[in-house]
Amino acid sequence: MDEAENRAWDWVPAAWQPVVLGGLCLVALGFFAAAAWPKLRTLAGARPEQRCDRPLARLKDTIRIAFLQTRLFREPRAGLMHALIFWGFLILLLRAAQFFAIGFFPAVGLPAALDGLYGAYGLAKDGVVALVALAVGYALYRRLKLRPARLTLSGEGLLILVLILLILISDVLFEAAHAARHPAAATWLNPLGWSLAGPLSALPPGALVHLHNGAYWAHVSAILFFITLLPRGKHFHILTSIPNVYFSRPGPGGTVRRLDFEDETQETFGVTHIGEFTWKNLLDLHTCTECGRCDAVCPALASGKPLSPKQLTVDLRNHLKSETPWILAPEKQRAETAPELLGGVIGDETLWSCTTCGACETECPVMIEYVGKIIGLRRGLVLTHDRYPEEFAQAFRSLETQGNPWGFPRDTRADWAANLNIPLWDKDRPTEYLYFVGCNGAFDSRGRKIAEAVAASLKAAGVEFSILGTDEGCTGDPARRAGNEYLFEQLASQNAQTFQEKGVRKVITHCPHCLNSLKNEYPEFGASLEVIHHSELLARLMKEGRLPGAEAAGGRVVFHDSCYLGRHNDVYDPPREVARAAGGTPALEVEHSRDRGSCCGAGGARFLLEEKVGERMSHRRLDELLDARPDTIATSCPFCVLMLEDALKAKNLSGKVQVRDIAELGRK
């Protein structure tokens, strides 16, 4: 690159070129700061949250998800399109810096020693320009012609794509006009400009000057205009997505945190207005790309419920924008009450529709967290507004008085094991494992059969285990997911104290909801447990040859993933290994399986509620599983068993297809 190229603006005196460009930059940065500064202030003043632990795990996730764009490739075509634009953006940042260097230092050329490096970059840059142009072309075709229902097809998105095209085209024309004006300097290392230089050389010299200068102005103006737009719409995610991925939860589990009920400065509990979210919650809102991938996998939305994860985020973000002046105003100048959020901006039924299955979080390419926000808003409804579905009222009373959501007498919790010769936990002579049965296994007639099958398998393998009997209580999962954090606090504290007093260290459970609470949430209550799901233990025992041979399950077996075992705890292979050992062949898979498996509808305490709106989620999931023409549906969650069996009964298929826990498959 020589001085002739750096003299980009022949119509402007050289001394004024940096001044003009500097003025434009100041104006653009001023517009950017005016829109971005209030957002940064709300983030800085939001409720604190610890998100700086495990830096290496966070860095690994950032490289994999933010830079390598791995989640986008769940949809290959759209994923490649977005990845090319993102990677191209990173590579072309250097080219943008070069354009501004040309403007600020028009008389300074590149040192000759760097000519080779610059030439190699020019060749790579032109390749990137071509690929990004193709990606943008497909993006425009997709928005204008294909128009996927899940996308927000806004004018803003089209404008950004047009600006990107303008930046790419002006780059090529800038190179081509320079090559046409200075043929001796033209090089194949800038193939796009070099190939256009021949046709452009037929233009008069004055026209080439204007083309060269016009391309420069178009390039820098498009970049500066792009900068002014960033904090004014959804494309602010270009700046927030990488930090949002870094500060997201590393690995599965741990989406909900304990409330401090001893804090006397708190007037409300849960989230009742937008200013009560944490800074990470607000960063999520600014990061949403409105791609709709969350909507595409949401079982509530698919079954006709009034919940769209994307729209929830957009509504919260718009509300945050409108209420930012209230949040940032001095306390004396604020209105007497905080702006209403619950029941207005976000409808109650929207919140109660969520199963907390986590499908939206697994699908989101920028790691937005939804479950924690949903539960925070439910806490606001329950703890502050005392407003929740009628079915929860009885469940809350039963959990408080009897330690289970159905109201069965507390002293009957161990009745399921009365004739099974299972010892009670003795802290003086503890067994290797405590079998935490859970409310479903202890009280539900179908759940008891699963508990009996698990106990039989453990005995057959020679595993030393015992139970707490009537000392066991509900983990509190239904209360926490329903928003009654105070009740969860009571139940969890009581259980944690029992574990500590009895010296419990290793726990087996066949309920993924119990697993999630004990493993991921009880450490905050002082219970440091080694918790294992029965599928993990049974799979290990089979590999060790400790379980006797099982009869073949017979027929076609399809596997259904539990959300709280899979997405929330990353356990996918062990239950399949158990099912394979029982059936002799791998279980069949349906399209929506593993981390893209569809929810049965029981999570989020919804097993306590009647589905009064739309189609039953369990019916939709059953239809998906029936596509495999199974004789048996295998799963590893007692609530999934109940929901799918109920769906079979409703469809008059009870005698044709069975639903069985993996512990029940092929056992003698």
d(CA 471, CA 434) in angstroms, rounded, equals 12
What pLDDT, in 10s, does the model give residues 164-177? 999 999 999 999 99
pLDDT band for 613, please (50, 70, 90 cuts): very high
Mean pLDDT lowest among 187-201, 312-326, 360-374: 187-201
Straight-line distance from the first to the last Cα atom of the chain, in angstroms, rounded to the nearest whole number: 80
pLDDT beyond 70 at 115 = no
Please choose, from the candidates 387, 384, 388, the residue with its C-alpha nearest in 3D space to the C-alpha of residue 272.
Answer: 384
pLDDT of the residue at 630: 95
What pLDDT, in 10s, does the model give residues 468-487? 999 999 999 999 999 999 99
d(CA 90, CA 162) in angstroms, rounded, equals 18
pLDDT band for 254, please (50, 70, 90 cuts): low
pLDDT of the residue at 240: 97
- Would you state the structure tokens that stand for residue 654, as one six-digit string? 């009870």
The rounded mean pLDDT for the chain is: 92
Taking CA atoms, 22 is separated from 30, 101, 279, 436, 442, in Å, by 12, 11, 34, 68, 73
Report long-range pairs for 106-111 (Cβ below 8 Å, ≥24 apart).
106/6, 106/7, 106/8, 106/9, 106/14, 106/17, 106/18, 107/3, 107/6, 107/7, 107/14, 108/3, 108/6, 109/1, 109/2, 109/3, 109/5, 109/6, 110/1
- Enumerate the domain spans of the chain: 3-240, 274-384, 390-664
Task: Give the residue-averaged pLDDT of 190-210.
Answer: 87
Q: How many helices (H) and strands (E) does the chain have?
A: 26, 7
d(CA 565, CA 575) in angstroms, rounded, equals 10
Q: Tell me the CATH architecture of domain 3-240.
A: Up-down Bundle (1.20)
Please choose, from the candidates 294, 304, 297, 271, the residue with its C-alpha nearest in 3D space to the C-alpha of residue 374.
Answer: 271
d(CA 87, CA 61) in angstroms, rounded, equals 17
pLDDT beyond 50 at 9 = no
- Would you state the structure tokens that stand for residue 591, as one six-digit string? 């399209």
Taking CA atoms, 256 is separated from 169, 280, 310, in Å, by 48, 13, 20
pLDDT of the residue at 1: 42
pLDDT of the residue at 547: 86
pLDDT beyond 70 at 5 = no
Please choose, from the candidates 283, 276, 386, the residue with its C-alpha nearest in 3D space to the C-alpha of residue 339.
Answer: 276
pLDDT beyond 80 at 14 = no
pLDDT beyond 80 at 8 = no
pLDDT of the residue at 4: 43
3-state helix, strand, coil in the chain (%, to 5): 60, 5, 35
pLDDT of the residue at 3: 43
Task: Give the residue-averaged pLDDT of 245-251.
Answer: 93
Supply the pTM of this predicted model.
0.92
- Amino acid in the structure at residue 73: F
What pLDDT, in 10s, does the model give residues 483-511? 999 999 999 999 999 999 999 999 999 99
Question: Quick check: 500 and 526 in contact, CB under 8 A?
Answer: yes
Mean pLDDT lowest among 2-16, 173-187, 571-585: 2-16
Question: Quick check: 494 and 475 in contact, CB under 8 A?
Answer: no
pLDDT of the residue at 117: 76
pLDDT of the residue at 6: 45
pLDDT of the residue at 110: 61
Tokens 């077996």 correspond to 557
Report long-range pairs for 51-57 (Cβ below 8 Å, ≥24 apart).
51/247, 51/280, 52/247, 54/250, 57/250, 57/251
Please choose, from the candidates 146, 130, 108, the residue with its C-alpha nearest in 3D space to the C-alpha of residue 14.
Answer: 108
Packing angle between helix 17-45 and helix 309-328, nearest 10 degrees? 100
pLDDT of the residue at 197: 86
d(CA 339, CA 529) in angstroms, rounded, equals 42
pLDDT of the residue at 120: 85
pLDDT of the residue at 582: 83
d(CA 496, CA 523) in angstroms, rounded, equals 9
Let me know if the fold of 3-240 is the same as that of 274-384.
no
Task: Give the residue-averaged pLDDT of 19-44.
Answer: 96
Question: Quick check: 416 and 636 in contact, CB under 8 A?
Answer: no
d(CA 320, CA 313) in angstroms, rounded, equals 10
What pLDDT, in 10s, does the model give residues 412-431? 999 999 999 999 999 999 99
pLDDT beyond 60 at 10 = no
d(CA 548, CA 572) in angstroms, rounded, equals 23
pLDDT beyond 90 at 39 = yes
pLDDT of the residue at 550: 60
CATH code matching the domain that covers 274-384, chosen among 2.60.120, 1.10.640, 3.30.160, 1.10.1060: 1.10.1060
pLDDT of the residue at 667: 61
What pLDDT, in 10s, does the model give residues 363-381? 999 999 999 999 999 999 9
Task: Give the residue-averaged pLDDT of 534-554.
Answer: 84
pLDDT of the residue at 584: 77
